[in-house]
Structure 1
């Protein structure tokens, strides 16, 4: 039997006596990102012991969303679960089977808090969705609620623009020969799927994978979310003050064209970059220079050829 054959899916639901918001909290969408799992288990223990009590609405916890990746201690089981996340009547890999279980579960809820971590040392941040719109890429109507929750998770950095920027990269890699629906499919992860069902969602990047503070960031965010949405009796958390926020928009993705393309230094997410600064070199020695002032995001030195290498962000004063 394969490792996948030994896996099972698990979710745990706590419901209050009064009606309210239906929240779902997910951890280990990527198997090597365990801070969310640790935080979820801690909160569940407090609920089981009676130290916390769900009064209104309901919360569903998924401590390990991708059990195969988690068992391997790797980002993916057979592919990245946080791409192309749709139910599939003809599943081709383990993550397709996760999607067939996870997507209907997400659709039963109003709000998703998805807990992640990242490779290079940097501070936590939250990824938010688009402005309210009825356009074809990512129509949305819960901008105010989503951003109000984002400001109460306990972090100061906010990033938007994911699906649009990711989609630009997909179209470029495929020579602009693909339709919007293909872009949507490849860019769709947990939060994008949740928004497509009429809810709203946040991805909280809690810190570097092995940072001992990352589970604390995740734990605080869960408690703040439960309090802010009124599920537990606790003071509503205060929003972070505008003068303490750093809001950024993803505006460009740059690809690794050859496996031997290299960075010129060890970049971390949110390192500042000046226009004309050397970011890396192509395999033939051609320098890769920053096209504008901004901050780098998700630099991936281990990226394969013809895949995402790094993103660039710009300040978003309109957040």
Structure 2
């Protein structure tokens, strides 16, 4: 077994002379998602060469969040870092060691941009955003307006919200006790959720398919637009994506795979449209699983185990950005 001690963590900070927000931008939270790493290194080279200047605030880059997974060219080292992301008194796996380094680093910043990519071929980039302002127990938040205004300036046109609400509803349905509920809800916390829990705001940008040569360009544009929008560099604020060009979706419900022999009726991909009453899959007992409303399917998992998340359904959010 590989020893965690053979790895090291790296962050690079640039601080301007003028006051401004403390921004952190990360790549390779999942080791085979390298578009962010490529884009971050490109921007760092521009700063180091004098082509780009950080005039205000503080900018921290983490080119490779998970060095073990990155070295292996796999999504995870020992487990998914983007779940159950909390400091651990007794770290059990490599991602626990990352969390003990990363969580305090995140807490010292105000804004996080986490750059990812996805496996499916042909999908367009999208950004995952947080909840509206609220004082609830699940994910209290007070920066929705700033977060959503920033999301519209990353250079992508598809926006998804509602992760923790939909995920949390599924957890409550499965949980058998209060203790189990709290444990599994914590499992839904990744980098952006942790950042919001510290009082900041954050976006996850899915820049495209893992090997798409356009994905690093999408990541680079998002970094540059972020620096301009938050006024870390001397550049005009990028124009927001017009409302008429946006597709905003809210995750509404998660459906579980109840039996190992439950199967999809077709090879679904994220953002495939579904019509109300359309067959999604078939249960082990032969009963059909149909869409309860028209929308798009998200994160269909053909490899899901029994009593785990199988797929999410989303519906259009026509008020996104106008709240």
User: What band does the TM-score fall into relative to the shorter chain?
Assistant: over 0.9
Partner of 1:64: 64
Residue of structure 1 equivalent to 2:37: 37
Cross-structure match for 1:28: 28
Residue 101 of structure 2 aligns to a residue in which SS? helix
CA contact (8 A) 2:171 2:185 kept: no
Deviations 1:72-99 (A, max 9, x none): 2111111111111111111111111110
1:33-87 CA-partner distances (Å, limit 9, x unpaired): 1111111111111111111110101111111111111122111111111111111
Moved more, 69-78 or 139-148: 69-78
Residue segments in structure 2 that go unaligned for 5+ positions in a row:
none
Match of 2:17 in 1: 17
The answer for the alignment partner of 2:131 in structure 1 is 130
Is the Cα contact below 8 Å between 2:36 and 2:115 reproduced in 1? yes
303-312 or 281-290: bigger deviation: 281-290
What do you get for the CA RMSD once the two structures are aligned?
1.6
2:233 matched to which residue of 1?
232
Aligned residue number for residue 262 of structure 1:
263
Q: Aligned equivalents of 1:107 and 1:318: distance in 2?
A: 30
TM-score normalised by length of structure 2: 0.94
Residue 135 of structure 1 and its aligned partner are, at CA, apart by 1.3
TM-score (norm 1): 0.95
More displaced stretch, 100-109 vs 160-169: 160-169
> Which residue of structure 2 aligns with residue 277 of structure 1?
278
CA contact (8 A) 1:171 1:178 kept: no
Q: Does 1:100 align with 2:86?
A: no
- Determine whether 1:209 maps to 2:210: yes
1:165 aligns with 2:170: no
SS of the equivalent of 2:207 reads strand
Of 219-228 and 116-125, more deviation after overlay is shown by 116-125
Inter-partner Cα distance in structure 2 for 1:54 and 1:297: 38
What SS does structure 2 have at the residue aligned with 1:116?
strand
Instruction: Give 1:196's aligned residue.
Output: 197
**Does 1:111 find its partner at 2:111?**
yes
Q: 3-state DSSP class of the match of 1:37?
A: helix
SS at match of 1:203: strand
Measure, in 1, the Cα distance between the counterparts of 2:92 and 2:285: 37
Partner of 2:73: 73
Q: What secondary structure is seen at the aligned counterpart in 2 of 1:99?
A: helix
The C-alpha deviation readout for 1:102-155, integer Å capped at 9, x for no partner, is: 000000101000111112131111111111111111111111110110000001
Q: Distance in 2 between matches of 1:4 and 1:48?
A: 30
Separation (CA, whole Å) in 1 of partners of 2:104 and 2:148: 24
Structure 1 residues 199-246: Cα deviation after superposition (integer angstroms, max 9, x where no partner): 000011111112211111111000000010000111110001111111
Unaligned runs of 5+ residues in structure 1 are: none
Q: Equivalent residue of 2:80, what SS? A: coil
CA contact 2:171–2:181 (8 Å) conserved in 1: no
Contact in 2 for aligned 1:137/1:180 (Cα 8 Å): no
